Structure 1
Amino acid sequence: MSPSHRPDTMPPSRPPPGEEELRRLVAHLRHELRTSLTAVIGYSEDLLETLEGPEALRTELEALRGAGAAVLALVNERLGAEALRALSTSTLPRLVRALGDACAEPASAIAPLCVRLVAAAEGAGQYALIPTLCRIQAAGVMLNDLLAGYALELLPHAPPLGGMPKAADPTNEARLAEAPSAERGHILLVDDNSVTRDVLRQWLVRQGHDVEEASGGDAALELLRARAFDLVLLDLVMPDRSGIEVLDVLRAEDLLGRAPIIVLSALDEFDGVVSALERGADDYVTKPFHRVLLRARIRMALELRRHRERERAYQGMLAELRHAR
């Protein structure tokens, strides 16, 4: 193996991002925030249109939709075209932090509202509402993680994974190590590139996750058949069996859906990403990875797995109620 491919060899340091790169990054942040808000607002409106229940439920749902709409208005204002035109390496930190501060109150209201709504739905016997409320809560988690993450690990000082690692912040590392166990997971990392696996594994372990590795598609399938995982990070391009082929086998063996799957792709592999999503992958991230976005995606995927388990339980409860009638 050549020195440039040894797992302990790190890529060269990247220069600080230029203003054009910053604009693209902020545009990407705006897209991700809007995606989460589409779920919060859209699902809330769907529930309001079909709700047949106590007025208290409607009031809470309207508050939930209002919280999402308030954050969306701030995102559109603070990250709109005019703001991007005025963006520079010196103004970006203030812009992102100001957005996080402005959105803090309405964004932090989403999860408690969902918790209250789930309890109210259970009390009113409106069990059919609960799976959708779980999806809204997962989107709210993603939203808060993006806002907090980009503010805490500001972009010009946080190179993507795959670049030279940032000097550890003892306070931040301690905070991550003390993260609630519900935010940690048993993760399968599938990638034929040993450098990528090594960088990602070390970072994931620092977040408190338990990580197993597979160097290819066949090894990944053996592990997935043998035991359960909370999340799979699956590379698209591998020499023995591609990520697409892994998804096809999982579907054929009725193993798809046990754990959320996040596809790892290069920027020029968009067609492969689309095929993976069509075959049952839950999300994707592009290489080189940005820590804030990857952490938010992983957190949302772990939330999704827990909500799927709750959803299955509620669907079973509904089936029993229909049978009893």
Structure 2
Amino acid sequence: MSLPDRPDAWPPSRPAPGEEELRRLVAHLRHELRTSLTAVIGYSEDLLETLEGPEEIRAELKALRSAGAAVLSLVNERLGAESLRDLSASTLPRLVRDLGDACAEPASAIAPLCARLVAAAEGAGHYALIPTLCRIQAAGVMLNDLLAGYALDLLPHAPKLGGMPKAADPASEARLAEAPSAERGHLLLVDDNSVTRDVLRQWLVRQGHDVEEANGGDPALELLRMREFDLVLLDLVMPDRSGLEVLDVLRAEGRLGSASIIVISALDEFDGVVSALERGADDYVTKPFHMVLLRARIRMALELRRHRERERAYQGMLAEIRVVR
């Protein structure tokens, strides 16, 4: 993970946030990093507990767990209470950059470790390991996106428009948009608020995604019945049919799982988020959106969808093997 050169002072073009806002932003970053690391470390430990050989795979899993633990130690150290005692607008950019630099080596090791593990699992015939390894890989993608994204953006106190933050600056927006084609997708944006849809659509297109829109639950279902999407951004509260009702219909029609689904909610709709996750949604984002986090969650969701397709292929292969036997 290579971070671009940026000045250490708070960008003069934007007003510096107050102390409360600074601490909220740091708490947000710390929470999201720990969430990704919980997946990397937890899944690795679970595989180590259940896997009996081969030793090559166990050694790589231990290295993967160690990489996650190393990043977690740095996050706890650099974003802990003691380190944040003298936090200010002038010290925060350097703090975030130093964290990214310190985490670069162990964090960047996660993806190649996962790739080697998948290859080793295939070679050893341990196909059941691959779905979990894919989840670890997706969590590693999000981890690196968060570390690089926050450093790029310098945690700006950006103005909001329709719940969507403006880009920090043109250079930052351009860097965020430089994603390989494999990281882009065909997205369906479902929201009854035309302003939110317009702002989100413009931002998503700048990231390189192909975006279609639906202004409610019923139009969304019509589009999902007509063609395939990689990802659905689904608002929870809509007048014609709620996001929860859309999930119920998709489940009843056997369409749940064909596309990754991220539900969109306001901060006071947590019960709805829990219900959506129980109904099969993959993730959620809250309004107002944070650009770095939204990009990371979208990329992770697209990774998961590709891994699901791979998992289905392996399941089909295993089924054929059982028939032959």
TM norm structure 2: 0.91
Could you say which residue in structure 2 is the equivalent of 1:52?
A: 52
Q: How many residues align?
A: 311
Question: Deviation digits for residues 65-108 of structure 1, max 9, x if unmatched?
Answer: 10000001001111112223332211111111111000000000
Does 60-69 or 86-95 show the bigger shift? 86-95
The question of whether the paired residues in 2 share the 8 Å contact of 1:189 and 1:197 is answered with yes
Structure-to-structure mapping, 1:1-325, within 5 angstroms: 16-156=16-156, 158-159=158-159, 162=163, 165-166=166-167, 168-169=169-170, 171-325=171-325
- Work out the CA distance in 2 between the residues paired with 1:234 and 1:182: 22
Shift of 1:167: 6.4
The question of whether the paired residues in 2 share the 8 Å contact of 1:53 and 1:124 is answered with no
AA at the equivalent of 1:251: R
Secondary structure of the equivalent of 1:80? coil
Label 1:319 to 1:61 Cα distance change in 2 as closer, same or farther (>3 A): same
Secondary structure of the equivalent of 1:65? helix
The question of whether the paired residues in 1 share the 8 Å contact of 2:164 and 2:291 is answered with no
- Work out the CA distance in 2 between the residues paired with 1:174 and 1:209: 14
The question of whether the paired residues in 1 share the 8 Å contact of 2:186 and 2:229 is answered with yes
Label 1:96 to 1:177 Cα distance change in 2 as closer, same or farther (>3 A): closer
Shift of 1:49: 1.2
Secondary structure of the equivalent of 1:84? coil
Label 1:120 to 1:155 Cα distance change in 2 as closer, same or farther (>3 A): same
Could you say which residue in structure 2 is the equivalent of 1:7?
A: none
- Work out the CA distance in 1 between the residues paired with 2:180 and 2:282: 24
- Work out the CA distance in 1 between the residues paired with 2:158 and 2:180: 24
Secondary structure of the equivalent of 1:87? coil
AA at the equivalent of 2:166: P
- Work out the CA distance in 1 between the residues paired with 2:296 and 2:51: 31
The question of whether the paired residues in 2 share the 8 Å contact of 1:71 and 1:103 is answered with yes
The question of whether the paired residues in 1 share the 8 Å contact of 2:164 and 2:290 is answered with no
- Work out the CA distance in 1 between the residues paired with 2:324 and 2:86: 63
- Work out the CA distance in 1 between the residues paired with 2:251 and 2:16: 43
Task: Name structure 1 gaps, 5 residues minimum.
Answer: 1-13
Aligned-pair identity (%): 88
Shift of 1:164: 6.4
TM norm structure 1: 0.91
The question of whether the paired residues in 2 share the 8 Å contact of 1:89 and 1:156 is answered with no
- Work out the CA distance in 2 between the residues paired with 1:21 and 1:157: 8
Shift of 1:168: 4.3
- Work out the CA distance in 2 between the residues paired with 1:320 and 1:37: 36
Label 1:47 to 1:268 Cα distance change in 2 as closer, same or farther (>3 A): same
Shift of 1:16: 4.4
AA at the equivalent of 1:318: L
Label 1:132 to 1:176 Cα distance change in 2 as closer, same or farther (>3 A): same
Question: Deviation digits for residues 257-308 of structure 1, max 9, x if unmatched?
Answer: 1111111111111111111111111111111101000000000000010001
